[in-house]
Structure 1
């Protein structure tokens, strides 16, 4: 185990750190995370569309079309918001005007999302009048579904390319320079004139002249990977857990490294579940098991590595240091914040605690997967903030299912059992160290 830790530290950690710190990867992660407030609020309204109490659901029935609006224009157009966030984040790293970069990227993404005039007959024309048909035929039809999470990869590519065009033209001084004394907001508008025109023409030609659909092509290419990592594959779910925990052991923020890769898949998966639930599909028959919410509430109990169990063991330790660390880490751990334990114990580069840090979450993943596939608990159909205590979070995202909260408690005790023997070994080492210092 020591040899493996050394190898990972010397060979893998530097590469992972470079990948995680790469400006485009950081921009993708920050841009998608910036949409979190909207998706949390929007997914909350899905509960009203499928209220678990029949009497209340009956009273809400006449208002369902109105209650659907907040969801459709938050979660339903997630890719549009992400485009602005990603472009703005990348522009900041280049010291470009963030607002201008974000607007140009949004324009570019919308151009690629509009149905071309030549494809207007593919659009359902049922109950459309003559004027509406002319609008569609003219290439002015924008399907709101094209702005959702399924187009997230197209949004990422469009945002990154548009900012790179903006940066290139500014570096090469292909801009309109205004005299001194002109207000900055006016000057920035003229500086962005050529980049905006270039992006508009570039993406217009690709989508409407060449006929290449960036969003659909990327979605088709990457959907098999999404089905593996964030669908119903147990192997894919275990691989995700293994990688996140392994990076933490190296002292690298696991979600920060995996975020640019896995988060777009997570966003697609949870939106597919929410869409199906909004269409009144039973919560046990959702398209995807391994959403981010599944891992958050059934596996990351106390944070990555399921460390709340370890904190509870620390609270009853004979070691003064571990007992004090348990006291410090308990309240944050209850709300799924475990950096004090990961770096305080430490778990980083610690062979003794690294094994259960990986083993416990993987065992919990298997248990939760079996419970989901056998319909003991529903699948996740909404989302909530990660700082909610796990039983409450699991109860909320499974349409208020009590068995989901009970499963969290069961998984907690499973992690407690797995951590216990390794904790005793670590405690013995710590006591010996404290005795030597005394």
Structure 2
């Protein structure tokens, strides 16, 4: 193990260091980490919104609309905050005005991902509240916030970088309005941004509405040829699904959101067939489908995509103060399979060191779980459960209360921790070095 860690430090760490210190990569990392407080607090409210104990969930359902608000305005529009953070960080690295660039990046992101405003007209002569429509919105112009979540994080990264680079280019080429000396900086910066703002608006407006180009739609269409092999009983299809989801996450793209339009209908069909067969008296061992969404949720995504609960535990015992603190903050959300604090806090996004085990570990545990199922040691998934139930309990419940399913979760957790460990040690060493440098400069 020590030799492998040394090999990682000699071969991978230098390359990873160069990549991670690159200006744009640094801005992406800083911008995403800045959203950490939002994702942590929002994650706790997500747990309450999907409480795994039915009696408690039923009681909380009467407050659902209120409980949902903090989650919707934190994790629910995370990409919007990330755009400003990435734009601001990149601008500061160029010694540009961070506030102006942050607003330009946010503007370009909104133009790119948000659908056109919907206009709702008054309904003449109808007493909406009188007929039971108490929650009907008033007439006016509305936009959907669904596209502002982490599912649009790739668009967030692209638009933030492009907007700042446009501003930098135009300022360097002096394609701006220069104000006389003595004008307050905040006023001067506003006029400097006029031409870049016009260019940014025209560019992203043209891409979105003239050329009608959608980044997320483009990626989904790119994956459509694979739809016939991504679900069912094929180990290759299951591994490909896991690879694509984790790979997109490492790139900063919400993996399930990209894969969802392609694979979710097949996942839903697979679990529906299993549930129907189980209701008809078929044994959980003899159900038709292995690779349901629940198979990945309980056996592979232990603590969330990438099996990050194992990494959380390693962080808890880290010598790095930052990693140890992040581990403490991420433990409870991770226990309930919510891992945005880890993905955006470590971060795993755009991280060449932690990105490798984030992809590799689920590939291994998927293979192990497949052969355990094929050998008849664990049953297939027979029910759907809320994703916030801790994995060993949920796996036990979902497979007709078969204890070996919970044991398999523990086995996969140990395997995942073992795969993460050497990469964690390299990442920890880099973090400790960074903390020492910051302490010496203080």
In structure 1, C-alpha distance between the alignment counterparts of 2:229 and 2:35, rounded to whole Å: 24
Does the 8 Å CA contact 2:176/2:194 hold for their aligned counterparts? yes
In structure 2, C-alpha distance between the alignment counterparts of 1:418 and 1:218, rounded to whole Å: 30
Matched, 1:264 2:275: no
Partner of 1:300: 311
Partner of 1:77: 77
Does the 8 Å CA contact 2:307/2:416 hold for their aligned counterparts? no
Q: Are residues 416 and 267 of structure 1, via their aligned partners in 2, closer, same or farther at CA, if it must alter by over 3 Å?
A: closer
Partner of 1:248: none
Q: Are residues 10 and 367 of structure 1, via their aligned partners in 2, closer, same or farther at CA, if it must alter by over 3 Å?
A: closer
Matches within 5 A, 1:57-206: 57-116=57-116, 129=123, 142-206=143-207
Q: Are residues 294 and 376 of structure 1, via their aligned partners in 2, closer, same or farther at CA, if it must alter by over 3 Å?
A: farther
Matches within 5 A, 1:201-280: 201-218=202-219, 220-221=221-222, 235=239, 261-265=250-254, 268=257
In structure 1, C-alpha distance between the alignment counterparts of 2:45 and 2:170, rounded to whole Å: 43
Q: Are residues 77 and 361 of structure 1, via their aligned partners in 2, closer, same or farther at CA, if it must alter by over 3 Å?
A: closer
Partner of 2:22: 22
Matches within 5 A, 1:9-48: 14-48=14-48
Does the 8 Å CA contact 2:79/2:152 hold for their aligned counterparts? yes
TM-score by length of 2: 0.55
Instruction: Give the SS at the match of 1:300.
Output: helix
Does the 8 Å CA contact 2:113/2:155 hold for their aligned counterparts? no
Does the 8 Å CA contact 1:154/1:218 hold for their aligned counterparts? no
Q: Are residues 187 and 17 of structure 1, via their aligned partners in 2, closer, same or farther at CA, if it must alter by over 3 Å?
A: same
Q: Are residues 381 and 2 of structure 1, via their aligned partners in 2, closer, same or farther at CA, if it must alter by over 3 Å?
A: closer
The two structures, once aligned, show a CA RMSD in angstroms of 5.8
In structure 2, C-alpha distance between the alignment counterparts of 1:40 and 1:300, rounded to whole Å: 16
Q: Are residues 407 and 262 of structure 1, via their aligned partners in 2, closer, same or farther at CA, if it must alter by over 3 Å?
A: farther
Query: In terms of mean alpha carbon deviation, does 32-41 or 80-89 score higher?
Result: 32-41
Deviation at 1:263, TM superposition (A): 3.7
In structure 1, C-alpha distance between the alignment counterparts of 2:79 and 2:411, rounded to whole Å: 37
Q: Are residues 201 and 287 of structure 1, via their aligned partners in 2, closer, same or farther at CA, if it must alter by over 3 Å?
A: farther
- Identify unmatched segments of 5+ residues in structure 2: 125-135, 265-270, 273-291, 332-356, 421-442
Q: Are residues 90 and 236 of structure 1, via their aligned partners in 2, closer, same or farther at CA, if it must alter by over 3 Å?
A: farther
In structure 1, C-alpha distance between the alignment counterparts of 2:62 and 2:393, rounded to whole Å: 24
In structure 1, C-alpha distance between the alignment counterparts of 2:259 and 2:67, rounded to whole Å: 19
Q: Are residues 215 and 377 of structure 1, via their aligned partners in 2, closer, same or farther at CA, if it must alter by over 3 Å?
A: closer
In structure 2, C-alpha distance between the alignment counterparts of 1:269 and 1:379, rounded to whole Å: 22
Query: In terms of mean alpha carbon deviation, does 35-44 or 361-370 score higher?
Result: 361-370
Partner of 2:424: none
Deviation at 1:3, TM superposition (A): 11
Deviations 1:63-103 (A, max 9, x none): 21222222222222222122112212211221211111111
Query: In terms of mean alpha carbon deviation, does 57-66 or 168-177 score higher?
Result: 57-66
Aligned residues: 334
Query: In terms of mean alpha carbon deviation, does 59-68 or 370-379 score higher?
Result: 370-379
Deviation at 1:184, TM superposition (A): 2.4
In structure 2, C-alpha distance between the alignment counterparts of 1:225 and 1:178, rounded to whole Å: 56
In structure 2, C-alpha distance between the alignment counterparts of 1:268 and 1:237, rounded to whole Å: 13
Does the 8 Å CA contact 1:116/1:208 hold for their aligned counterparts? no
Matches within 5 A, 1:343-382: 374-375=380-381, 381=387
Deviations 1:301-340 (A, max 9, x none): 6438xx97xx9xxxxxxxxxxxxx9xx9xx8998699xxx
In structure 1, C-alpha distance between the alignment counterparts of 2:407 and 2:154, rounded to whole Å: 36
Q: Are residues 191 and 285 of structure 1, via their aligned partners in 2, closer, same or farther at CA, if it must alter by over 3 Å?
A: same
Deviation at 1:264, TM superposition (A): 2.5
Deviations 1:315-369 (A, max 9, x none): xxxxxxxxxx9xx9xx8998699xxxxxxxxxxxxxxxxxx9x999976675578
Instruction: Give the SS at the match of 1:264.
Output: coil
- Identify unmatched segments of 5+ residues in structure 1: 245-257, 276-280, 312-324, 338-355, 383-391, 420-438
Partner of 1:432: none
Deviation at 1:285, TM superposition (A): 5.0
Does the 8 Å CA contact 1:300/1:361 hold for their aligned counterparts? no
Q: Are residues 381 and 5 of structure 1, via their aligned partners in 2, closer, same or farther at CA, if it must alter by over 3 Å?
A: closer
